[in-house]
Structure 1
Amino acid sequence: MLEWLLRQDLRLFFHINNKWQQPWLDALMPWIREPYVWAPLYLFLALFVTINYRWRGFFWIVLFIVSFGIADQTSSFIKDAVGRLRPCRDPLLQHFVRVLVSYCPSSGSFTSNHAANHFALGTFCFITLKQAFQQYAWLFYVWAFAIAYAQVYVGVHNPVDVMGGAILGTMIGLLSSSFFQRRIRLEADLT
Structure 2
Amino acid sequence: MEINPIKWDWELMVFLNNLSPDVLDPFWSFVTYTKHWIPFFILLIALFFYKSPAKKGGLGLLFVLACVGLTHLITDFTKSLVMRSRPNTEEALSEVIKVLYEPSHFSFFSGHASTSFAATVFIFLSLKSKYRYLGLIFIWPILFSLSRIFVGVHFPSDVIVGGVVGTILAILFYELYNFALKKLVHVGN
Q: What's the TM-score once normalised by structure 1's chain length? A: 0.88
Partners of 1:171 and 1:27 in 2: CA distance = 32
Partner of 2:165: 168
Partner of 1:78: 78
1:155 deviates by: 0.1
Find the residue that maps to 1:138 and give its secondary structure: helix
Cα deviations across residues 99-158 of structure 1 (Å, max 9, x unaligned)?
112xx1111111011100001011101100111123x23223221111111100100000
Structure-2 change in CA distance of 1:139 and 1:37 (3 Å): same
Cα deviations across residues 72-121 of structure 1 (Å, max 9, x unaligned)?
110111111111100001122223321112xx111111101110000101
The amino acid that maps onto 1:175 is: L
Partners of 1:181 and 1:2 in 2: CA distance = 44
Partners of 1:78 and 1:2 in 2: CA distance = 27
Partner of 1:31: 30
In structure 1, list runs of 5 or more residues that go unmatched: none
Q: Which runs of 4+ in 1 moved over 6 A?
A: none
Partners of 1:112 and 1:2 in 2: CA distance = 26
Partners of 2:36 and 2:22 in 1: CA distance = 20
The reply to whether residue 137 of structure 1 matches residue 124 of structure 2 is no
Partners of 1:178 and 1:33 in 2: CA distance = 30
The reply to whether residue 89 of structure 1 matches residue 76 of structure 2 is no
Partner of 2:20: 21
* Count, aligned residues: 182
C-alpha contact 2:30 2:36 (8 A) present in aligned 1? yes
1:111-150 correspondence runs (5 A): 111-134=109-132, 136-150=133-147
The amino acid that maps onto 1:42 is: F
C-alpha contact 1:125 1:140 (8 A) present in aligned 2? no
The amino acid that maps onto 2:130 is: A
C-alpha contact 1:123 1:140 (8 A) present in aligned 2? no
What's the C-alpha RMSD, in Å, of the aligned pairs?
A: 1.9
In structure 2, list runs of 5 or more residues that go unmatched: none
The reply to whether residue 152 of structure 1 matches residue 136 of structure 2 is no
Partners of 2:126 and 2:10 in 1: CA distance = 36
Find the residue that maps to 2:99 and give its secondary structure: coil
Q: What's the TM-score once normalised by structure 2's chain length? A: 0.89
Percent same amino acid among aligned pairs? 26
Structure-2 change in CA distance of 1:140 and 1:51 (3 Å): closer
Partner of 2:43: 44
1:3 deviates by: 5.4
Find the residue that maps to 2:87 and give its secondary structure: coil
Partners of 2:134 and 2:12 in 1: CA distance = 29
The amino acid that maps onto 1:110 is: F
